Amino acid sequence: MSTTYVEGRYLAKVLDHGFGKSESKGTPFFFCQIKVLARLDADGQQQPCPQYERSYRQYLANDTGVNILRRGLRVLGVEVTDLRQLERGAPNAINLVGHQIEVVCELEPYDGKVVERWGIARAQERLDLDAVRALQDQFGHLLRDGNTPAKPANAPTISNDKDPPS
């Protein structure tokens, strides 16, 4: 089976959102059902592409999963203090349905085939030229000696108490 979309950023419309759990392990997740509207090129301009529904899931098995969800929601301008705010129909619920959001598609191997994995596109802060110069000052020597292998950090010597002294 081939994938419909290539890796990259897309504009999508939220059709539904809420919570579910995986069939295999019962792991809870937050989902956004989306309809892909356009592919975004390197300049952020919309390009035509197939317009199909896809699903974004963020598994909530541990603190890391919840923190990833919070960061993704912040990108969308949404701050939650209670997960119930993301459940449609709950008191004080936040409704994302109808919102246009930027998403990212990554292609990953899964069960012997390549599958699309969708997520909320996160902005990347670019370094200015002064910051890049500072990096060059710090690490430039590693690049100038391009064919010289990196020296490993000095590892502590561990004695083997089981060997007889020589």
- Give the pLDDT of residue 31: 96
Please give the share of the chain, as a percent, with pLDDT higher than 90: 66
Question: By the 8 A CB rule, do 117 and 108 touch?
Answer: yes
pLDDT (mean) for 86-112: 93
In the block, tokens 């391009």 appear at 146
Closest CA to 116 of 60, 45, 52: 52
Note the pLDDT tens digit of each residue in 123-154.
Answer: 766 778 888 888 888 888 888 766 555 555 55
pLDDT (mean) for 104-122: 93
Collect contacts of 40-49 with beta carbons under 8 A, ≥24 apart: 40/8, 40/9, 40/10, 40/11, 40/102, 46/11, 49/5, 49/10
- Give the pLDDT of residue 141: 83
pLDDT (mean) for 94-99: 95
Question: By the 8 A CB rule, do 59 and 29 touch?
Answer: yes
Question: By the 8 A CB rule, do 33 and 14 touch?
Answer: yes
Name which of 16-20, 95-99, 161-165 the model is least confident about. 161-165
118: number of CA atoms within 13 Å, CB side?
A: 23
Return all residues near 144 (Cβ < 8 A) that are at least 6 apart: none
Note the pLDDT tens digit of each residue in 38-72.
Answer: 999 999 899 999 999 999 999 999 999 999 999 99
Chain-centroid distance, C-alpha 5: 17
Q: Which CATH class is domain 8-120?
A: mainly beta
Return all residues near 105 (Cβ < 8 A) that are at least 6 apart: 5, 6, 7, 8, 10, 54, 116, 117, 118
